[in-house]
Amino acid sequence: MTGDLTVFKSYSPCLNNYTVRIADGTLSKVMGKGSVIISQNITLNSVLYVPKLDCNLLSIFSQGNIVPNPKPIDDIDIPIALRKGVRSCTQHPIEKYVSYGKLSKGYRSFVAALDSTNIPRNVQ
C-alpha cells in the first residue's frame, strides 16, 4: 500500500468501497490499485493506493513462494538496521524508559505486534 500516486507504473481506480484499517485504528478508503517498479528486477503488483497513508506498507503473504536459492545480496544494499543485527543484551532496556500505559488500544496492539513481526530478507 502507498499514499503516493506518482510511484505507479500502471494504475486503475477502485470502484468498490474497499477500506483498510491503519495503525491508529481508523479506516481509510482504497482509491485504486496498480503496479509499482521497485528496481530493474522487482515489480510489485496489486499495490493499493490509500491517500491517507504517510508511508509505504509491504505485506508478505505467508503461503507465498520462497526462492530456494536466492541470489546473494550485496551488503551495501542492505539497510543498516539489518546489517547490524539484533543485540542480545543491553545495559539500558527500553522497557525501563518507555511506558505503554498511555497509548491508545490500537497503538498498544501495534507496538506489541512489532516484537513478533518478521522482517523480510528477500523480495520477489
Number of domains in the chain: 2
Check pLDDT > 80 for residue 28.
yes
Indicate whether 74 belongs to any domain: no
The pLDDT score that the predictor gives to residue 8 is 92
Closest C-alpha among 14, 25, 24, 99 to residue 49: 14
pLDDT attached to residue 30: 92
- Which residues have a Cβ under 8 Å from the Cβ of 23 and sit 6 or more positions away? 106, 107, 110
Would you say residue 65 lies in a domain? no
Q: CA dihedral defined by 80, 77, 58, 56, rounded to 10 degrees?
A: 80
Q: Which domain holds residue 99?
A: 80-116
- Average the pLDDT over 7-24 and give the result: 88
The answer to the question of residue 86 being in a domain is yes
Cell of 111: 507496538
| pLDDT attached to residue 98 | 65
For the chain, percent of residues with pLDDT exceeding 90? 13
Residue 2 lies in a domain: no
Query: What's the rounded Cα separation, in Å, for the pair 48 and 57?
Result: 10
16, part of any domain: yes
For residue 22, what pLDDT is reported?
Answer: 80
The cell numbers describing 59, all together, are: 505485506
pLDDT at 31 over 90: yes
| pTM reported for the whole predicted model | 0.48
Q: Which three cell numbers stand for residue 2?
A: 502507498
**Is the confidence at residue 106, as pLDDT, over 90?**
no
Mind listing the pLDDT tens digit for each residue in 34-93?
A: 998 888 888 888 899 998 888 888 766 555 555 555 555 555 555 555 555 555 556 666
Q: Is residue 67 in some structural domain?
A: no
One DSSP character per residue, 8-45 reads: EEEEEE--S--EEE-TTS-EEE--EEEEEE-SSS-EEE
Give the burial class of 2: count Cβ atoms within 10 A of its Cβ; 0-12 exposed, 13-18 middle, 19 or more buried. buried
What confidence score (pLDDT) does residue 13 get? 93
